[in-house]
Amino acid sequence: MKARIKVFLGGMSAFFLCGFAHATQNFYLNSFAEAKSDFTSFRTTNYDTWSTTPLYQVFRDDFSDGNAPPSAPNFVSGAAGSYVVKGAFLPGAEQSGYALLNPYTEGAASDNAAGISYMTLYGLLPSNIAPGSTLGLRLSSTFATEARYQFAVPDNDVSYGIRLSDQNGTGNKDDFLDLRLRTLADGTTQFAMIDQDFTAGTSTVVGTKAFVPPTGVAEISFLMLHSIIGSNTVDGFYRYYDGAGVAMGDWTKVGSSDLFHGENFTQASFIASGLAAPEPASVLLLFAGLGVLGMARLRRK
């Protein structure tokens, strides 16, 4: 019987080691930025320069003042900045140049376009949406928005990344376009671009890339790019960085999708979410319970 118990416990240990090693619900956001132009094309090859050039830069948050969202630095134009937050950041969530995101401890329940419930934490930057305004991320401009995180592998049914949406803080929503690193229920980790159509009630994956991080990776950056004035299409990219902040290769495209459906604006968010049921803690309790039942059966035999 002892041998059978040992085999059982060994199998349980192997499950937890394989299923949860290096995975997490905690994600550390290093920076969130927007850049735009009303007169020239925007490409990944010039984004790195434009994102730090006052002529093109719209906003940048390096999470270095210790005040967690909704607190935000001003827009480059001087206008006051403040995030619209889904959920609530915990005290001390922003420090040492990063913001901590955990969808289960800081997030709030939210349904995706297909009606599936998630625990979600995001910070939406309410850039200008006024009709006729040349400010903000608009159909009539080229723009890019980027979120750079410390390298992390998400738990099963958990993801983090960046979003473009037309929600504009009013609660009315039509289209969301997400670019995420996610781990599926079967343990597969991948980059995914997801088009959420709330009018049609659909959540469609429009592109994926295998998750093959290079040795020495320290950060992952997500980039959403509107490269042609008047085009409905937005492209999604990712790139790895080493511990010195040096890019490890070029931007890799994940997918493309139409975003503007009757609107002439969009707004950007950083985001982390996890399937609302079962939560990872509930899964651990479930397997602990199964372990007790298994031990009881072994004793009876």
Number of helical (H) and strand (E) elements in the chain, helices listed first? 4, 19
The Cα 238–Cα 32 span in angstroms is 14
Global pTM?
0.83
Which residue shows structure tokens 């210790």? 66
> 216-245, pLDDT tens digit by residue?
999 999 999 999 998 999 999 999 999 999
For residue 280, give Cα distances in angstroms to 7, 19, 25, 154, 179: 25, 11, 9, 11, 22
Domain that holds residue 215: 2-300
Number of domains the chain is built from:
1
Residues of the chain with pLDDT under 50: 1-21, 168-169, 279-301
User: What token pair was written down for 214?
Assistant: 């290079």
SS3 (DSSP) at 301? coil
What is the model's pLDDT at position 286? 36
**CA-wise closest residue to 147 among 272, 267, 31:** 31
Q: Where are the alpha helices (DSSP H) in 70-226?
A: 103-106
What is the model's pLDDT at position 173? 65
Helix, strand, coil percentages, rounded to 5, for the chain: 15, 45, 40
Who contacts 276 (Cβ-Cβ below 8 Å, separation ≥6)? 109, 117, 118, 119
What is the model's pLDDT at position 22? 66
235 phi and psi, to 5 degrees?
-105, 150
> 127-156, pLDDT tens digit by residue?
888 777 777 899 888 999 999 999 999 999
What is the model's pLDDT at position 167? 64
